[in-house]
Structure 1
């Protein structure tokens, strides 16, 4: 409606804060005033005269220049009872979402769990609103970290046999490797490659089990080792060389990523001939695109932020637009118990695992808590609050509202009352009823916002607000 009134303008709309007049507001007057060097309030007062529509009851200019819009009650209720509650916005667009993708070197941590909750929620919502969305897990089963895993397990095997053992300095020191070592001994594994293959398979299976326990199921599991067998790594390297996007320095091969906005060029082949992580990762993303996914979403932890420009540059160097890849960075999680933060390190063996958390806290509570903050914000997971059965716990608050709604519906059915929507909605007049109707109508808007901004935290915020309105 506003786009029709002001064609060509970029219009941002948001909900009016509680206690203010109206349902929605826009800062359009500020944008126009900046262009024409006018006063925002004066511009807003002129603009309100141009906003006319049957769905609107009032439009007002508010200091210092906002335009507040109130929706007509009749239109609001008609929309509530006649329009689909789930919008269709995807129109079958193919999107591949890759998330979690932790190294098969240990259990799923609480930090990984946040990426799992974000990715799984995002994929499910995108599927609901019409996107052909695929969830994918990338198994990093090649490279130096896997060699370190094999060496670490081998040392633990020696330890169990009573021999002197020395886990590599940059290896994996957690006691969880003792279980892997015991099984390797039971299987009479001695060869380093056999130990490596067994350990990788062990952790992949355990990670799958943990994620399924968490309600997260992936459509695809793709191995880095398989990508390396496709020839795409060599293809990417040859393409970068042909386009003069590489150079040698001190025996290493560099990719000119600064030409794509990176702060420094990146090594893709080390002086001893090993591929760095970036080269096969570019090949993996080319593999995604060739599987008919023109739009890619990766969900990473904050420690991978510096990798974005290099990977995006690689995709662009292969001839694809910059917009092909969107990387969503999910910030750290700190687990808090009795007012104290837990220290976490997979290599040091002090990791807080998702399995341990799920042994104490129900799955739905864990997922809800991990979605309560924006992906760009650090998150404190308060274990004491998560276990509390009171309205202080937002999950308990939302679940209690849901139970009350079900109870009311059941009561109505027992009394022979219809719970269908084919009734005269003009009888809905009370302010509290209208407020609840408005809250319900924000559901499809919330779903669109989640897919547009890739921000699943909108779901938890919406549910809390809806429970409050009820």
Structure 2
């Protein structure tokens, strides 16, 4: 793959340090950290900056400003760098040579929808398990955030060369499923005239009455003597059908729907238990069987089999993760609600006990969502057993806005979702502002075509006429798409892409408002059309990773 400008700067800085050591200007025999390159927030301070001099201060026992000055002397000789400047206590600012920035457009022309992708995953077989809401009711707003984040993480990993499976774990075993069956049975018998009460902690939502009506429509009164298992299976089937339809409308797809009952049918929990016993990591105490999770960093040991000889949910979760490993997955990514944060250490400990590599399991958390209309909070529950569903939000503000808003903040940070803002057609609405940039570019390209202008190839255009600071800044931002995607992959932080888009389109809209793309100067027109067409590709590719459309008209 071609190196990005940021990647080139990392190498240039490393070479500068090595050269300074070779020439005796800096001490030898020390491990040098990799430079961190950041895009400048203000173009007055260059295109990129690094703080490499600060960690080197501790290594070389020299003032950071002196180290930065030494490195700057080597770096200013590099062809891709137009200017280097030492700022403050030792920051190094870079202005990239326009000729190198123009090459970004050549790469976009060549790669098109592949621009920004990489092969750092090298085909590693990866399973991303997310959402996995219990099939006991419709998806609510909180589920929607988990669905979007998991889906986008899958997109990012695929764009980075991983072989990705998106998996939904169906919790079809346990007491909550018995309650589901009992609740449907009560609702069904009520339709037949019986006066019954729901079980304690039963499912009270209106949707259970709707499912009971569907059962009655299909079977009439013939199910009066059916057992709870029958009602459980019917309810779960209908709820899963609704969940799948909701996800389809939301642009989320799963490659595999894995039922918990499959684990027990295949004897996986017993297999795991036998292995842990054989390895000496279990013990009996107070009539229960325990796992020594404290050996692997957990704060206390955990029960696998209760005193009544019923397995804990923990054993089932260990078995499920062993199943993933046995199916050949090399990287397991789990996305859980924040209320499961206390579960991370115990599951990690169990996987370590079974000799799975620590780095092969990544567990991420996502926080709750609060709805509002302007400054007014929206109640998340409307009546007993009811809540604001994902379908209701998507129907009100649209799939694209919902996905964008869910991904605007770091996943483990609480999210405030303003429904009115998400519907607004103005620059205050970030998703509208981003999509409008793409539509605006498409409109300009259509007008150019109607005027008999065509987008020429890179080699036919004099790029040197793109010399305005706004144009060079735009090229600098376009150059870092791959860096941003890799950053998302390494940190599992898809919200970086929404920030990247908003920053880039702000630059574009400002540029468009002050400069004509199509003018009487043919060379300038050709170059600017090529520039914005390249930007169109960058916007479309980034929106695609977010699962959001790139409209050509708005």
Identify the residue that residue 71 of structure 1 maps to in structure 2. 96
Identify the residue that residue 87 of structure 2 maps to in structure 1. 62
Identify the residue that residue 457 of structure 1 maps to in structure 2. 495
88, 96, 103: which one aligns with 2:118: 88
Question: 1:248-303 CA distances to partner (integer Å, 9 max, x unpaired)?
Answer: 23222221212221122222222222222211111111111122211111111101
Identify the residue that residue 384 of structure 1 maps to in structure 2. 420
1:176 alignment partner, SS class = helix
Q: CA offset at residue 434 of structure 1? A: 1.3
Identify the residue that residue 286 of structure 1 maps to in structure 2. 322
In 1, are the aligned partners of 2:374 and 2:421 still within 8 Å (CA)? Answer: no
Q: Aligned partners of 2:33, 2:360: CA distance in 1, in Å?
A: 26
In 2, are the aligned partners of 1:184 and 1:195 still within 8 Å (CA)? Answer: no
In 2, are the aligned partners of 1:270 and 1:276 still within 8 Å (CA)? Answer: yes
Q: Aligned partners of 2:334, 2:340: CA distance in 1, in Å?
A: 11
| TM-score using structure 1 length | 0.94
Question: 1:370-425 CA distances to partner (integer Å, 9 max, x unpaired)?
Answer: 11111121111111111112221111111221111001111111222221432221
| Distance verdict in 2 for CA 1:230–1:348, change over 3 Å | farther
In 1, are the aligned partners of 2:81 and 2:97 still within 8 Å (CA)? Answer: yes
Q: Aligned partners of 1:192, 1:320: CA distance in 2, in Å?
A: 39
1:153 alignment partner, SS class = helix
Moved more, 192-201 or 77-86: 77-86
Identify the residue that residue 197 of structure 2 maps to in structure 1. 166
Q: Aligned partners of 2:236, 2:381: CA distance in 1, in Å?
A: 19
Question: 1:120-141 CA distances to partner (integer Å, 9 max, x unpaired)?
Answer: 1221232233221111111111
| Distance verdict in 2 for CA 1:197–1:448, change over 3 Å | same
| Distance verdict in 2 for CA 1:458–1:110, change over 3 Å | same
Check if 1:325 corresponds to 2:361: yes
268, 273, 280: which one aligns with 1:232: 268
**CA RMSD, 1 decimal:** 2.1
Identify the residue that residue 176 of structure 2 maps to in structure 1. 145
Q: CA offset at residue 99 of structure 1? A: 0.9
| Distance verdict in 2 for CA 1:283–1:4, change over 3 Å | farther
Q: CA offset at residue 10 of structure 1? A: 3.2
| Distance verdict in 2 for CA 1:343–1:240, change over 3 Å | farther
473, 486, 507: which one aligns with 1:448: 486
Counterparts of 1:24-423 in structure 2, within 5 Å, are 24-51=48-75, 52-82=77-107, 84=111, 85-89=115-119, 90-186=121-217, 187=219, 188-189=222-223, 190-344=226-380, 349-422=385-458, 423=461
| Distance verdict in 2 for CA 1:346–1:302, change over 3 Å | farther
Q: Aligned partners of 1:402, 1:457: CA distance in 2, in Å?
A: 20
In 1, are the aligned partners of 2:186 and 2:198 still within 8 Å (CA)? Answer: yes
Identify the residue that residue 22 of structure 2 maps to in structure 1. none
Q: Aligned partners of 1:87, 1:398: CA distance in 2, in Å?
A: 21
| TM-score using structure 2 length | 0.81
1:389 alignment partner, SS class = coil
Of structures 1 and 2, the larger Rg is shown by 2
Q: Aligned partners of 1:169, 1:5: CA distance in 2, in Å?
A: 70
Gaps of 5+ in 2: 1-10, 18-30, 509-554
Check if 1:15 corresponds to 2:39: yes
| Distance verdict in 2 for CA 1:369–1:27, change over 3 Å | same
Moved more, 242-251 or 293-302: 242-251
Gaps of 5+ in 1: none
Q: Aligned partners of 1:287, 1:40: CA distance in 2, in Å?
A: 51
